[in-house]
């Protein structure tokens, strides 16, 4: 009987095990799914905070608003993609998703639907869920199973990158045939 040969897998490197342990410490504690209901899950994901009043920005027309940024307030693009305009009480009754955002000094210009009310709206931006990011990183690191390239580099057997010398044209070096 012929046994199929599997490529030799090196054990997980010590540095990767240590990194996984550190990321595991940063991850939020796991909760059992049996005790959660959809209301609790929705409340956990809807952690937007009111960031300031939205004032109509007449120069750009209907749907455009200006929101003064206090101090060094800055937001990541993924936060702005999930941001919305809503009354001071929050977006439980109605909210207007942002269509476009532009930083202009200490002011954030936002565009929402043209039918959004011209007064009484505030900018709501969700908090970043770092726990979810750490869990994703942990899953990715834990799923690495092949370390061939790392082993080759450590042994000094990885193929070097071709060096371009002055006067040579850039690109892939030609391989002679024959």
Domain of residue 115: give its range.
46-128
- Residue 140 maps to a domain: no
Residue 60 maps to a domain: yes
**Residue at 121 is within a domain:** yes
- Residue 31 pLDDT: 58
* pLDDT of 146: 78
Please report the pLDDT score of residue 6 as a whole number.
44
Closest of 121, 128, 69 to residue 98, by C-alpha: 121
Contact 108, 100 (CB under 8 A): no
What integer pLDDT is reported at residue 114 of this predicted model?
A: 94
What CATH code is carried by the domain that includes residue 105? 2.40.30
Q: Give domain status of residue 64, yes or no.
A: yes
Q: Give the helix ranges, DSSP H, for the chain.
A: 14-26, 38-45, 77-81, 130-142, 148-155
Q: How far apart are CA 30 and CA 50, in angstroms?
A: 29
Q: Could you tell me if 65 and 110 are in contact, meaning their C-beta atoms sit under 8 angstroms apart? A: yes
Instruction: Look at residue 34 and tell me if it is in a domain.
Output: no
Which pLDDT value is given to residue 41? 36
Q: Which long-range contacts (CB under 8 A, 24 or more apart) does 6-15 make?
A: 7/148, 9/145, 9/146, 9/147, 10/147, 10/148, 10/150, 10/151, 12/144, 12/147, 13/147, 13/150
For residue 37, what pLDDT is reported?
A: 40
- At 44 the pLDDT is 34
Domain membership of residue 14 (yes or no) is no
Q: What is the pTM of this model?
A: 0.53
Task: Dig out the tokens for 172 from the structure.
Answer: 């892939």
- Domain assignment present for 109: yes
In the chain, the number of structural domains is 1
Give a yes or no: residue 63 inside a domain: yes
Low-confidence ranges of the chain (pLDDT < 70): 1-10, 30-46, 72, 160-178
């Amino acid at each position: 009987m012929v046994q199929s040969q599997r490529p030799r897998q090196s054990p997980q490197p010590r540095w990767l095990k240590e990194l996984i342990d550190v990321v595991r410490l940063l991850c939020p504690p796991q909760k059992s799914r049996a005790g959660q209901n959809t209301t609790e899950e929705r409340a956990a994901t809807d952690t937007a905070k009111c960031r300031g009043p939205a004032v109509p920005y007449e120069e750009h027309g209907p749907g455009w608003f200006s929101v003064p940024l206090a101090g060094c307030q800055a937001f990541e693009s993924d936060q702005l993609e999930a941001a919305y305009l809503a009354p001071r009480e929050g977006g439980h009754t109605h909210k207007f998703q942002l269509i476009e955002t532009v930083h202009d000094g200490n002011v954030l210009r936002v565009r929402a639907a043209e039918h959004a009310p011209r007064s009484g709206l505030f900018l709501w931006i969700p908090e970043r869920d770092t726990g979810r990011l750490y869990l994703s990183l942990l899953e990715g690191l834990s799923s690495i199973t092949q370390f061939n390239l790392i082993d080759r580099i450590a042994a000094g057997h990885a193929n070097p990158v071709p060096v371009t010398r002055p006067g040579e044209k850039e690109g892939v070096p030609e391989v002679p045939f024959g």
